[in-house]
Amino acid sequence: IALERTITRADFDGWIAADVAAIETALDRALSEAKVAPEAIEVELHLPFAGRTIICRIDAVFRRGDRWQVVDWKTGRAPRDAAELRRRELQLALYRLAWANRVGVAPADVDVAFFFVADELVVVPERVLDEAELLRRWTAAVGTGTTGR
């Protein structure tokens, strides 16, 4: 597989909880099985959202025909149940919105997935929050981000 750049140990800075060699091996295997090179790796996007700026560090983005796929690598194990997966999906919904804004497409044209390195398992949520649902869930958890002054 031809990458735009080589994945290096520096790419794994945030992944210190796992063994770097094992991660490199799993990622090499996953990328080779994907049969397509990522369009972007480790992209930092700033998403204005709910009166705040959310920093989204997207691990990998693939182009699949006229659609995009954002993949978030996780060094831990896959979720044990649907409730745990739902808690993690908020991050994917934010990443999807950030990538859609960057490339100028509707969020519905961006697919998302987790890749759990320890299990070498891709998990695609059955459903991803749309922007209105994301905003409702976000404000219920953290508020609007405005001071009211």
* pLDDT of res. 103: 96
What's this model's pTM, rounded to 2 decimal places? 0.74
> What's the mean pLDDT when you consider all of the chain?
80
* pLDDT of res. 3: 44
Give mean pLDDT, residues 38-54: 92
* pLDDT of res. 2: 41
* pLDDT of res. 142: 80
For 87-115, give one letter per residue: b (16+ CB within 10 A) or e. eebeebbbbbbbbbbbeeeebeebbbebb
Distance, CA of 8 to CA of 141 (rounded, Å): 36
| Confidence check: pLDDT of 148 > 50 | no
